[in-house]
């Protein structure tokens, strides 16, 4: 475990285990005696408003925030570890804020989505930067992938199962049109992980 000041990023697609890994890491830092504060945007309330929750049901108590200013108000400068889940739903200033925490001697652990359903880098709430900026500035990057759940005909396993680096959005069971809203919070009813072969590209 690296206890020196640093910015670590857990990035990837939906269903890749980002939130599970975030919870695991902040729990370990807490066991090691670090004071932890974990935040998530209120927009992401799919499973619980007061918890970081993974798709597989793992939970940890969290401080929810409406925007970056709200996070700054609730942030305690004395903490050792700053955790942020789904920061793509905040303003781009969250990148600088996590770096400021590191410069003060802390550890920041952040788990953003890398791409949106159109296969573009996910743009922050204010439209000024995208989540690849975290990758550029990070000291440690973990890139997680899901498994493609495309239904394969005449297959013993029924699904593709290859590594999924993209996510497909669906509306009423059909691939969402490119002009549908960029942000649509949802789970397995609206999104499915896809490998390159089975992802329906928009361009």
Active site members: 86
How long, in residues, is the chain? 203
- Joined together, the tokens standing for residue 100 give 């400021």
Burial of 88 (0-12, 13-18, 19+ CB in 10 A): buried
The label of the residue with tokens 């000041």 reads: 5
User: What is the rounded distance in angstroms from the CA atom of residue 159 to the CA atom of residue 133?
Assistant: 34
83 close to 39: Cβ distance less than 8 angstroms: yes
DSSP reduced 3-state for 97: helix
- Joined together, the tokens standing for residue 38 give 């974990």
User: What is the rounded distance in angstroms from the CA atom of residue 169 to the CA atom of residue 180?
Assistant: 10
Vertex 169, ends 165 and 171: CA angle to 5°? 165
Rg of the chain over all Cα atoms, to the nearest angstrom: 17
The phi, psi pair for 135, rounded to 5°, reads -65, -40
195 close to 160: Cβ distance less than 8 angstroms: yes
β-strand partners of 136: none
């Amino acid at each position: 475990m690296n206890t020196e000041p640093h910015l670590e990023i857990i990035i990837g697609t939906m269903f890749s285990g980002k939130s599970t890994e975030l919870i695991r890491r902040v729990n370990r830092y807490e066991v090691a005696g670090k004071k932890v504060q974990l935040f998530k945007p209120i927009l992401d309330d799919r499973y619980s408003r007061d918890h970081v929750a993974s798709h597989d049901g793992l939970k940890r108590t969290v401080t929810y925030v409406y925007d970056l200013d709200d996070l700054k108000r609730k942030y305690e400068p004395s903490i050792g570890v700053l955790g942020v889940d789904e920061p793509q739903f905040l303003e781009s200033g969250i990148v600088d804020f996590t770096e400021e925490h590191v410069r003060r001697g802390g550890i920041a652990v952040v788990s953003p989505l890398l791409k949106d359903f159109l296969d573009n880098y996910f743009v922050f709430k204010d439209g000024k930067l995208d989540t690849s900026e975290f990758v550029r500035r990070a000291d440690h990057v973990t890139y997680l992938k899901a498994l493609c759940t495309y239904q394969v005909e005449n297959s013993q396993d029924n699904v593709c199962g290859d590594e999924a680096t993209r996510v497909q959005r669906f509306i009423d069971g059909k691939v969402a049109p490119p002009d549908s809203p960029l942000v649509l919070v949802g789970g397995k009813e609206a999104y499915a992980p896809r490998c390159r072969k089975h992802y329906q590209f928009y361009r």
